[in-house]
Structure 1
Amino acid sequence: DYRYVWLRDSALAIEVLVEAGFTDRADSWRNWLLRAIAGDSKELRIMYGLRGERHLPEFELDHLPGYENSAPVRIGNGAAEQYQADVVGEVMIALETLRDAGIEEDEFSWDLQKSILDFQEHMFDVKDHGIWEMRSEPAYFTHGRAMMWAAFDRGVKAVEKHGLTGPVERWAQLRDRLRAEIMEKGWNEQLQSFTQTYGGTDVDASLLQLSQIGFLPYNDPHILGTVARIEKTLIDDAGFLHRYPAGTGLDGIAGGEYPFLLCSFWLIEQYAHSGRLDDAREKMDRVCATSSDLGLLAEEYSTSYGRLAGNYPQAFSHLGLIRAAAAISHPESPLDPAATR
């Protein structure tokens, strides 16, 4: 059930709105987001109802067959109770984007950000379910740990660049500790690639975000090695990118899935910022050709049936499209983290 607001998606929407010059809209969205997560930071949720509801229990409607017999039909969302380590980082990155655009913090907004960084520190050693809301046992997902790095990094920058107050030395220590940890446990020397989870061998498309958040430059050998591994294992015969290898059991869901369009846009962004503009344009044309007659994109695309699949329209896909288009238009843009951090 997708009739909710994910903090992750909201944060990305804020970033895209700011980068497109719609700061008023982004500021309004920020105010909603801050109201939704206000209160005890230990009660932070990954998603909320439109009116800020926190309790979103999941139920299966066994009497309904589902679209084309795609049972089970669910209302509510069981992932609402998950801990996903990347969420605080996503929020802090978005709010940094607003600060850099000249939207000043008020006392409430910055206090709340310090509070969620306290929450992130409290959860420092806790395993999570990852960006893809895995329904199996929690793990240390490399992407989630990198987003935790980003959360503390943005806290440090808020103090150093914008004159805000906070325990900057402690945040810097946590940031540096995470960087060392990720380089040691999230990197597989034999495969020359970052991996989905610490100590694992599978790759994950979310690792393409490590360069987007400034953890490493787009052309760093660790990133390029990971891209090569992703190209080898996650791209299907039609050139579309899957989120992760099917059949690993981590997602707790039987069977495989269709390619996830956002992931292809992440790869396009990576290509554009690492000197592979021709590859970026070719894949951009390929992915955009899947859109409906209204120019809308779904969550996934079935290359076997030649049709969109999953939730439609999907904000994630459109936000990825906008970022990818900006990367192709301005491959050396100051929005490129490798050029600005």
Structure 2
Amino acid sequence: MTPNLDLFPIGNCSISALIDRQGRYVWACAPRVDGDPVFSALMNGSEPAHGYWAVDLEGLESVEQAYVRNTPVLRTVLTDKDGAQVEIIDFAPRHPKHSRTYRPLALGRIVRPLKGTPRVAIRLKPSADWGAREAEHTSGSNHIRYRCPDVTFRLTTDCPVSHVLNERTFRLERELTFFFGPDEGYDQDVGPGVQSALDRTIAYWQDWVRKLYLPLDYQEAVIRAAITLKLCAYEETGAIVAAMTTSVPEFQNSGRNWDYRYCWIRDAYYTVRALNRLGAVDILEGYLVYLRNLVDDAAGGHVQPVYGVGLEPGIGESIVETVEGYRGMKPVRIGNQAHEHLQHDVYGQIVLPLVQAFYDQRLLRPGTIEDFRALEKVGDRAFAMHDQTDAGLWEFRTIARVHTYSSVMCWAACDRLAKAADYLGLADRAEFWNERAAIIRERIEREAFLPDEGRFAASFGNRELDASLLQMTDLGFLDAHDPRQVATFDAIERDLKKGAFLFRYVEPDDFGEPETAFNFCTFWFIEALAQNGRIDEARQIFDEMLARRTSAGLLSEDISVEDGELWGNYPQTYSLVGIINCAVLLSRSWTDVR
């Protein structure tokens, strides 16, 4: 079976996994999302020898899959050629327990006959050493222990253990339960225990969704995007990863294979901003803790664009040779060189979410004067770097320029510090930061503006375009109807739009010319269309993007203009943010149905 991105994520903010259209686990890392893949089949070719967990139905004819309403709990129904059916329920436990949230490094699976006399085989073959080999195992009367490099898992089950060990095909006559979790005894009957965890997990997620403030329209798309963004949060530290996978190429045989299982300051900023629109304050609070720790560690100095989920600064990039890669397309990378880059937009993306803590009365820990003083050090760095070359938000590896987007983000840092100071009654600091913001604004308007075309360029002293210029309105630097922004929008539409989709840029970069559109940029374009009064066009393109989602209702990073195939890491937080932002913008008002 050729790997593709039509995958269903499950998770609990501690562990996550991707399940394919046959109900097989094909990707899951442990003990963290950036760890060694316990299930690696996504990167191991069309007929992997291991790295998966399958329930194979003899004579399989068809598959139906869907999430339990408003949860990341997946229901798969397999039907054989004679009409016999098997139901599989997959989830990661998450629910209240002992005055805390129970979110173990564990996956639950229930397999039950629905109709007829189905014959199945349970094939559980975790991988080790990045897919180089099958994990070693030992077994007992009711469990199998799998020794993975960084964690030992134990499968506790009421299925005959020999059925699993021998991959025996057998008649499924009763419900079977599997708990794949920490190497410790399961302290209750596995069937009732896992069923109770399932019921409580469903209740948790449905209650979480119930508290979201949703737009009137597009609710299904927004709910699924919001749930999946929450799954991309590593709750122990508050980090938010850019995606669950590594090395799915941006397009076929491109070499643009990156590891996105880390916390980019930029991506996380956009994520918490989108979720904040829905009132999901829990993720914002966790991420603010992560950011405050980064601010303390930086002590007014350089801030990396990306860190490990445990706040690690060192996430050195290397290439793994033990797996074939997605559809055989190498390289497969661990780590990301971007941690070495200068990307000055990060200073704005630190300040903007943190200043919310000074205003938001919902937070358990409001911002303090001490927090503001610490944040001013970030503002000092933003001012110092606003006119310095960097790799830009697209993380060019061999191109250094003064990128307009980075400078605008530095301006936003100073502008928001001024507003926060005013709110806190610090008049002298408000004046100080307003003066700095004005200096940066003047520099951007002088160095990035092209008078002959009446538009802005993507970098100082140059003429190239990139889609990030659309964010000048979103950040409050320019009004959408400012003639300079209108001219910039027109140029982007003319040069970067291909069919319904928008490219980040079209000039060759370190790896040649881009061949796929960047989904987040298409959503930026949809927002710009709406801001320019072209609502019908915005909705038409938004509908096109929604139609391109996977069966799980999700998107990856990139899309092929030619055939609409999804490429890049999955599920991509940027793209899910775009779904939420555009849905909120384009939806009818609740007053329209009163």
**1:64 Cα offset (Å):** 4.9
Q: Kindly indicate whether the alpha-carbon contact (under 8 Å) linking 1:14 and 1:30 is maintained by their aligned counterparts in 2.
A: no
Structure 2 CA distance for aligned equivalents of residues 43 and 195 of structure 1 = 26
Moved more, 131-140 or 252-261: 252-261
Give the number of aligned pairs. Answer: 327
Q: 2:484 aligns to what? A: 222
What do you get for the CA RMSD once the two structures are aligned?
A: 2.0
Structure 2 CA distance for aligned equivalents of residues 107 and 159 of structure 1 = 9
2:347 is aligned with 1:88: yes
Structure 2 CA distance for aligned equivalents of residues 71 and 325 of structure 1 = 36
Q: 1:126 aligns to what? A: 388
Q: 1:243 aligns to what? A: 504
**1:43-77 residue CA offsets vs partner (Å, 9 max, x unmatched):** 42211111111111111235654323433322110
Identity of aligned residues (%): 32
Q: Amino acid of the residue matched to residue 59 of structure 1?
A: S
Q: 1:317 to 1:19 in 2, by over 3 A?
A: same
Q: Compare CA radii of gyration and give the structure with the larger one.
A: 2
Q: Amino acid of the residue matched to residue 81 of structure 1?
A: E
**1:183 Cα offset (Å):** 1.2
Moved more, 22-31 or 257-266: 22-31
Q: Determine which of 177, 180, 187 is the counterpart of 2:442.
A: 180
Structure 2 CA distance for aligned equivalents of residues 214 and 124 of structure 1 = 17
Q: 1:50 aligns to what? A: 309
Q: 1:142 aligns to what? A: 404
Q: 2:373 aligns to what? A: 111
Q: Amino acid of the residue matched to residue 146 of structure 1?
A: V
Structure 1 CA distance for aligned equivalents of residues 587 and 563 of structure 2 = 32
1:216-295, aligned counterparts within 5 Å?
A: 216-236=478-498, 238-247=499-508, 249=509, 252-295=510-553
Q: 2:336 aligns to what? A: 77
Structure 1 CA distance for aligned equivalents of residues 345 and 514 of structure 2 = 24
**1:240-292 residue CA offsets vs partner (Å, 9 max, x unmatched):** 00001132x3xx22342310000011111112222111111111111111100
Moved more, 199-208 or 57-66: 57-66
Q: Give the secondary-structure state (helix, strand or coil) at the position aligned to 1:67.
A: coil
Q: 1:256 to 1:22 in 2, by over 3 A?
A: closer
Structure 1: state its 5+ residue gaps: 332-341
Structure 2 CA distance for aligned equivalents of residues 112 and 55 of structure 1 = 23
Structure 2 CA distance for aligned equivalents of residues 206 and 105 of structure 1 = 30
Q: Give the secondary-structure state (helix, strand or coil) at the position aligned to 1:60.
A: strand
Q: 1:316 aligns to what? A: 574
Q: 2:104 aligns to what? A: none
Q: Amino acid of the residue matched to residue 52 of structure 1?
A: L
Structure 2 CA distance for aligned equivalents of residues 144 and 254 of structure 1 = 23
Structure 2 CA distance for aligned equivalents of residues 99 and 17 of structure 1 = 18
Structure 2: state its 5+ residue gaps: 1-258, 590-594
Q: Determine which of 138, 155, 164 is the counterpart of 2:417.
A: 155
**1:83 Cα offset (Å):** 1.2
Structure 2 CA distance for aligned equivalents of residues 119 and 290 of structure 1 = 41
Normalised by the size of structure 2, how large is the TM-score?
0.53
**1:187 Cα offset (Å):** 1.2
Q: Kindly indicate whether the alpha-carbon contact (under 8 Å) linking 2:305 and 2:342 is maintained by their aligned counterparts in 1.
A: yes
Q: Amino acid of the residue matched to residue 176 of structure 1?
A: A
Q: 2:204 aligns to what? A: none
Moved more, 256-265 or 12-21: 12-21
**1:330 Cα offset (Å):** 6.8
Q: 1:258 to 1:105 in 2, by over 3 A?
A: same
2:471 is aligned with 1:212: no
Q: Give the secondary-structure state (helix, strand or coil) at the position aligned to 1:269.
A: helix
**1:126 Cα offset (Å):** 2.2
Q: Give the secondary-structure state (helix, strand or coil) at the position aligned to 1:202.
A: coil
**1:173 Cα offset (Å):** 2.1
Q: Amino acid of the residue matched to residue 261 of structure 2?
A: R
Where is the helix percentage greater, Structure 1 or Structure 2? 1
2:587 is aligned with 1:329: yes
Where is the strand percentage greater, Structure 1 or Structure 2? 2
**1:201 Cα offset (Å):** 1.6
**1:178 Cα offset (Å):** 1.2
Q: Determine which of 287, 292, 299 is the counterpart of 1:29.
A: 287
Structure 2 CA distance for aligned equivalents of residues 330 and 177 of structure 1 = 40
